[in-house]
A and B are shown apart, each in its own frame.
Chain A
Amino acid sequence: MHVPDGFLDAPTSIATAAVAVGGVALALRGARRELDDRTAPMAGLVATFVFAGQMMNFPVAAGTSGHLLGGALAAVLAGPWTAVLCVTTVLIVQALFMADGGITALGTNVDLMAIVGVGVGWLVFVAVRRVLPTRLGSVAPAAAVGAFLSVLAAATLFSALFALGGTAPVSPDRVLVAMLSWHTVIGLGEAAITALVVGSVVAVRPDLVHGARPALKARTLEVRRPVTAAPTAPASSAPAPTAPAGDAA
């Protein structure tokens, strides 16, 4: 999904860069609420894992491959604002050192994979999590749905940008159809990898998974109910030291 220089014209690239700068600035503010002494080292490793995961192209069909974008994965593990910064860091390292993705296209790539990939991945994850029972076993499936749709969203946005500012005289409709059909398959790979990784971390250290906080909280309250059901305080306002207080979404 890394857009090279030249696919999109200068006005489009400037506009996408401006959106990227704004999005990253917001993420820098939002990530402060997600990061503390315990989660910051994990978040750094999430970025590292996304870099590694993006190198593992998996074969799709007919001579195509796909690779992890990692937006939904990073959002569920580290929190959405931190995830925008994780994926942006990966894209900067790739563009500057690996010549993977263009330099003038960096803003476009940040929009596609860091902002839309993370944003759609996280919002879908939260929506699915709300529908599923509040327990740890729901986290990985919800992440998988978020991952799948995040890839389709990024593919759709690229097609829209190409329709607006593509430099080659190619029908935007053809590009959209081709992007969506191939990325439906790639999205399934994204969903599988995301579910596998999120599921593994949830199994070992659910406290390090941002998206598992409501499930952990529910589990904790359940365990504590006999204790907190003292006549002085209703269970809902009882002190629960292990309960995360501020999961905004």
Chain B
Amino acid sequence: MSRRGFLLAFLLVSLVIAGVGSYYASSHPDGLEFVAERTGFLDSADDSPAAASPLADYQTKGVEDERVSGGLAGVIGAAATLLVAGGLFRVLRRRGPAEDDDTEPAEPAGARVPQARS
């Protein structure tokens, strides 16, 4: 699998999970919330200042259909994460091939020699 192909597939899997799979996720409280409820400190939680966000609680405000509303929120959130993290890592990265780099290290091709790097 080419690197580009792999990255595209990885992106697609993430978007499908966030956009489609998440609808089928369990809606039970998560471990912390459950423990908070059981032991009696759940009421100490305050509403987030972001509670009025159009994507609050992974639902898109103004979209009636629950499946579309949740899926859209998931895809937008995943895209926002990709934008922020991808942009950050682009800025932080070393330019050019790394010293330990080779374009296809997965293939132990004996013919590959260091000076073949461009």
Binding site for B on A (CB under 8 A): 1-7, 28, 31-32, 35-45, 47-53, 55-60, 63-67, 82, 85-86, 89-90, 92-103, 155, 158, 162, 166-168, 170-171, 174-175, 178-179, 182-183, 186, 201, 204-208, 216, 219-220, 223-224, 227, 239, 241-246
- In whole angstroms, what is the CA distance A219 to B108 when docked? 8
Is the beta-carbon distance between A45 and B35 smaller than 8 angstroms? no
Binding site for A on B (CB under 8 A): 1, 3, 6-7, 10-11, 13-15, 17-18, 21-22, 25-32, 34-36, 38-41, 43-51, 53, 55-58, 73-74, 76-82, 84-90, 92-106, 108, 110, 112-114, 117
CB contact between A32 and one of B22, B36, B38, B92 (< 8 Å): that residue: B92
CB distance from B37 to the nearest CB of A (A): 9
Give chain B's interface secondary structure class: helix
| Closest B residue by C-beta to A38 | B101
CB contact between B31 and one of A7, A155, A174 (< 8 Å): that residue: A155
Counting from the closest, the 10 A-B pairs by CB-CB distance are: A44-B86, A168-B41, A47-B85, A6-B46, A65-B26, A52-B18, A36-B98, A35-B93, A55-B22, A52-B17
CB contact between B82 and one of A48, A59, A63 (< 8 Å): that residue: A48
> Which of A1, A41, A53, A224 has the most B CB atoms < 10 Å from its CB?
A41
- In whole angstroms, what is the CA distance A65 to B26 when docked? 6
| Closest B residue by C-beta to A58 | B26
A/B interface sample: 5 pairs, CB < 8 A: A5-B49, A41-B89, A49-B14, A57-B25, A67-B25
Is the beta-carbon distance between B32 and A3 smaller than 8 angstroms? yes
> Which of B27, B28, B117 has the most A CB atoms < 10 Å from its CB?
B28
Given contacts A5-B48, A64-B34, A99-B48, contact A40 B93 (CB under 8 A): yes
Give chain A's interface secondary structure class: helix
Is the beta-carbon distance between A94 and B30 smaller than 8 angstroms? no
Given contacts A48-B14, A98-B53, A103-B48, contact A207 B89 (CB under 8 A): no
CB distance from A136 to the nearest CB of B (A): 10
B82: A residues at CB distance < 8 A: 44-45, 47-48
CB distance from A230 to the nearest CB of B (A): 14
- In whole angstroms, what is the CA distance A245 to B52 when docked? 49
